[in-house]
Structure 1
Amino acid sequence: MTDPVLRLTDVSLSLMGNAGPVDILRGITMDVERGETLGLTGPSGSGKSSLLMLMGGLERATGGTVTALGQDLGPLDEDALARFRRKHMGVVFQSFHLIPTMTALENVATPLELAGAPDAFERAAEELASVGLDHRTDHYPAQMSGGEQQRTALARAAVTRPEILLADEPTGNLDGTTGAAIMDLLFGLRDRHGATLVLVTHAEDLAERCDRVLGLHDGALA
């Protein structure tokens, strides 16, 4: 049996609030297997997004260990974490996080350019075409609809062919029809690139499409 793509062992996360430390996550132990699609569900404030951020090295655990593709993320500094994400992960957020002064093509090409890929713009154009945006390559985020911006964000997350895709409420800012189309694209990218997908969602219909669903409540697995 192959090693899990993601392994969390007794992970905790505490952040300092006005009244002292606040426990965000408590004693999380879990594995995510290669090629699996895992849904994380739970009420607002349960720790879903924080757990996803720990998996991506975007937040640091205050206890326990987070291992991705056999790499313990704890000892890595910010630069090393950024390089690891760039090489192995794609992250999609609810609020798109596109660079407003860059076109769709430039946004999607950015991770490839940072990695030194000589064909960054050619690959970016292909990825935009794969999400139906070949007619929007020269448009800036402000010139695109919310659905088009999220499709651009999906293309940017997938263009490096990541082994791990992390998605935090990717349809949260979209209407139902557009959100459904985005999820079809996200699952299609997973299938096309063979990525492991971890998805935070409130939507039951999206959770039902996952291979496995874990619920969180008050910072612990329910």
Structure 2
Amino acid sequence: MLSLSLKDAQLSLDGNAGRVDILHGITLDVEKGSSLALVGPSGSGKSSLLMLMGGLERASAGHVTALGQDLTHMDEDELARFRRRAMGVVFQSFHLIPTMTALENVATPLELAGDKDAFSKAAAELETVGLSHRADHYPSQMSGGEQQRVALARVMVVRPDVLLADEPTGNLDEANGNAVMDLLFELQARDGATLVLVTHSNALAERCERIVRLRDGRIEGTGQ
């Protein structure tokens, strides 16, 4: 069963210098519950491809299907509801709300979904990532590694079917980066989620079941 399927997907964006072609005819299937690393040099289209998979960018041509839903034909409101229900995205920057505590940050997506147990579930997820003692702390009071773990807890508390991670350790030192990645794979296994990971790290990519290499907006090769 497929979680993600792209058929001849293309992405072009309008810039100051005119229209720029970013992705060229990407065809790719991702099995449910699998882990996939997207690798390649800077500017190869890795993050853009991840954004297509999450419906954060709309394909200029071709089709993008996620969990059986054709994202190409959804409007912005439909895409937002779909992402909130089924997808989680972890970025290099933590994107925590600075005026909220760790507990409040993690509870936010559940509150938006109307979950009456938002705070108890958020507290349990903070404990899972080893940060129950930081529940009442604000982002500015936490280290980068702790902030990324809070961001990961916020994503995983909704139990997404698809987890997209864009250089999640890019702002962390090696020790914190390794700890966050261990946690990411543990949570993926716990929930049976599909993981797509953008990374420059060969060691990190090799932890995934499959590697897709991009260059100049095209798939250059795939492997284990």
**TM-score band, normalised by the shorter chain?**
over 0.9
Match of 2:153 in 1: 155
Shift, 1:24, TM fit: 0.6
Identity across matched positions, percent: 72
CA deviations on 1:195-217 (whole Å, 9 max, x unpaired) are 00000000011001000000000
Gaps of 5+ in 2: none
CA–CA distance in structure 2, aligned partners of residues 76 and 113 of structure 1: 24
| Among candidates 82, 90, 93, match of residue 92 of structure 1 | 90
Greater shift in the superposed pair: 12-21 or 131-140: 12-21
Measured on the aligned residues, the alpha-carbon RMSD in Å equals 0.6
Letter in 2 for 1:115: A
Aligned match of 2:104 in 84, 101, 106?
106
Within 5 A, what are the aligned runs for 1:46-85?
A: 46-85=44-83
- Distance in 1 between the 2:74 and 2:131 partners? 36
Read off the aligned partner of 2:123 and give its amino acid letter.
Answer: A
Match of 2:33?
35
Matched, 1:19 2:17: yes
TM-superposition CA deviations, 1:164-220 (whole Å, max 9, x none): 000000000000110000000000000111100000000011001000000000000
Name the SS of the counterpart of 1:167 in structure 2.
Answer: strand
Taking structure 1 as the reference length, what is the TM-score of the superposition?
0.98
Match of 2:168 in 1: 170
Q: Distance in 2 between matches of 1:119 and 1:88?
A: 19
Residue 189 of structure 1 aligns with an amino acid whose one-letter code is L
Which of residues 134, 137, 140 is equivalent to 2:135? 137
1:5-36 Cα shifts (integer Å, max 9, x gaps):
00000000001122211111000000000110
Distance, in Å, in 2 between the alignment partners of 1:134 and 1:78 is 35
Counterpart CA distance in 1 for 2:109 and 2:52 is 21
The alignment partner of 2:27 has SS state of strand
Number of residue pairs the alignment of both structures matches: 220
Q: Distance in 2 between matches of 1:118 and 1:60?
A: 33
In structure 1, list runs of 5 or more residues that go unmatched: none
TM-score if structure 2 supplies the norm length? 0.97
The one-letter code of the counterpart of 2:106 is V
**For 2:106, what is the secondary structure of its paired residue?**
helix
Question: What's the offset of the Cα at 1:45?
Answer: 0.6
